[in-house]
Amino acid sequence: MFDKYLIDPATVRNIGPADAPAGFAFEAKLGYYRGLGLSMIEELNVGLDGEVLPRAAVRFDEGPGPLTLDEMETAFDRRWAFGTPATILVEYAGGFPTGDHKLSLQQKLRVSYLPFPAFNNDEKMVEVA
């Protein structure tokens, strides 16, 4: 239902030195209407041109500071509120490639009243200036 709003393509940017970017970042929203504790976000799979990037390369920051996906598993005191953008940071040598590229995000969420994980997916064509 909210899948088409997960990735904000206008926020994709390179991170690190301008002459040697170490990765890229973008703003994303949660695809679940109530918000969730970070420990209930089982996966954030980031893809670039159809290739899923390594889990270890992804960081998440809803404001207090970035966490690895492993650290999120025990972040019981942090929450991602519905409608609030969070920053997804990805270690990717050279940063986001020039030209149009397909950026995808899959959220795997553990919702307390569902007997199965909820999946939300978004995919956007993005160009970084």
pLDDT tens-digit profile, the chain (129 residues): 689 999 999 999 999 999 999 999 999 999 999 899 999 999 999 999 999 999 999 999 999 999 999 999 999 999 999 999 999 999 999 999 999 999 999 999 999 888 899 999 999 999 987
Residue 48 in contact with residue 103, Cβ under 8 Å?
yes
- Could you tell me the residue ranges of all domains in the chain? 3-127
Q: Which parts of the chain fold into alpha helices (H)?
A: 69-72
Please tell me the distance from the alpha carbon of residue 49 to that of residue 100, in angstroms, as a whole number: 10
List, in sequence order, every residue forming a beta bridge with 28; answer none if it has no partner: 7, 86
Do the bridges between strand 23-28 and strand 51-52 make them parallel or antiparallel, or are there none, so unpaired?
unpaired
- Half-sphere exposure of residue 16: CA atoms within 13 angstroms, side-chain side: 15
Query: What's the predicted TM-score (pTM) here?
Result: 0.94
CATH code at 3-127: 2.60.40
